[in-house]
Amino acid sequence: MATKKNKRGFAGRGVAAAVVTIAAVGLAGCGPNLSMITAPWSEPEAVVKSKLFGKKNVNFDNVPIVKAVDGQIQQVTVVGPDGERVGGEMTRNGSAWQIDTSDLDFGTDYTVSVVAVDMRGNQTNAVDSFRTFVPENELVATTNITTGSSYGVGMPLIVTFNSPVENKAEIEERLNVETNTPNPIVGAWNWESDTQVTYRPKQYWPANTKVQLNADIKGVNAGNDFYALDNKREKFSIARKFVMIQDSASKQMKVKKNNKTIRVMPSSSGKPGYETRSGDKVIMSKEQHVVMDAASTGIAKDDPEYYRLDVYWAMRITWSGEYVHSAPWSVGSQGSSNVSHGCINLAPSNATWLFNQAKIGDPVEVKNTGRTQDLGNGWTMWEESWNDWKSGSALEA
């Protein structure tokens, strides 16, 4: 078989470090009698480089990669002062390695050991170090969830920050919601303000779901040099499906458990001028006893509509003061007239039963009052269409 030659007449090299040998056998004529000519091609050795090495104030926004020039990364080990290892992943087809910043601590020295190989398989070892920064401002995240608690199917997951978040997308992409459902739940975050982001599913949570929030925000710059010093985890569960439906036209409250009606109770809601707001609401708190003072709603003490009452078995559904509660003074009107100042009145026996059955996060669907629910006056996320809700995500675009 003939050897394919290039323009100079030499056979093309078939491996990276090949040596081409030309043998002159039985050459005649003028000139020296060359028995052998050798032309070696050499490959450069791998060199390990990183702007990370020797750095004393590494923040977590854009940690430099560790890379191998003229070679491949074979192994990278990053170790803290107590021997704890930091994770990472290969990039650039194996020629670089990126640190997992969620494993880093602030103000800490780390040692980096790298093994790289060149194209011939020769090994290069490199050891260096770096130190992480200490942020001046701490971002603190709190939630409306108590780990280990059980909530209703309408429960929102609310994360509140102690400082306005400018880099919303960077924070939101670190907020992950996991469930034990066979199929993934469709849900979205919505920034209701610069300091608060809320998660809700497209529909009510499936009954008996286990939920975990993984807020892996440690080291993320929220803006204005505020950094979270820790990640946050919350685990909670969703209970049975329990929905209260208040029809202010019929003056009845229907209670459904797992889609089956288990009780219908006479009720009374807001009278003309004080109508209860219609909409899909959520129980935000349960208070066995609360003092309701009309002055908190702007009613003067000399106004005939003024009241100050000790109220029992009360469950809040708006920030402005709407409750579902016991109202022994309106039992005669319950089922026939709407006489309250906006709350949903029930007989003491019915209110006590409902208080003991309901959970925070259970939906209260109010209908036929003639007054619409104002968004933000309570946990009103179920009043928004799915498209409107998810448009409040910093990642939706």
DSSP-based three-state secondary structure for 208: coil
Name the burial class of residue 21, with classes exposed (0-12), middle (13-18) and buried (19+) by CB atoms within 10 angstroms of its CB. Answer: exposed
DSSP-based three-state secondary structure for 363: strand
Length of the chain: 397
Sheet holding 109-117, edge to edge: 85-86, 72-79, 109-117, 123-131
Query: Is 30 considered catalytic here?
Result: no
Long-range Cβ contacts of 199-204 (<8 Å, 24+ apart): 199/156, 199/157, 199/158, 199/159, 199/175, 200/156, 200/157, 200/381, 200/382, 200/389, 202/386, 204/153, 204/154, 204/241, 204/363, 204/382
Contact present, 322 and 276 (Cβ < 8 Å): yes
Helix (H) or strand (E) holding 179: strand 175-179
350 phi, psi to nearest 5 deg: -70, -40
What span, in angstroms and rounded, lies between the C-alpha atoms of 297 and 131? 55
What span, in angstroms and rounded, lies between the C-alpha atoms of 307 and 320? 16
Catalytic residue among 30, 289, 325, 341: 325
372 phi, psi to nearest 5 deg: -85, 155
Q: Which active-site residues does the annotation give?
A: 325, 343
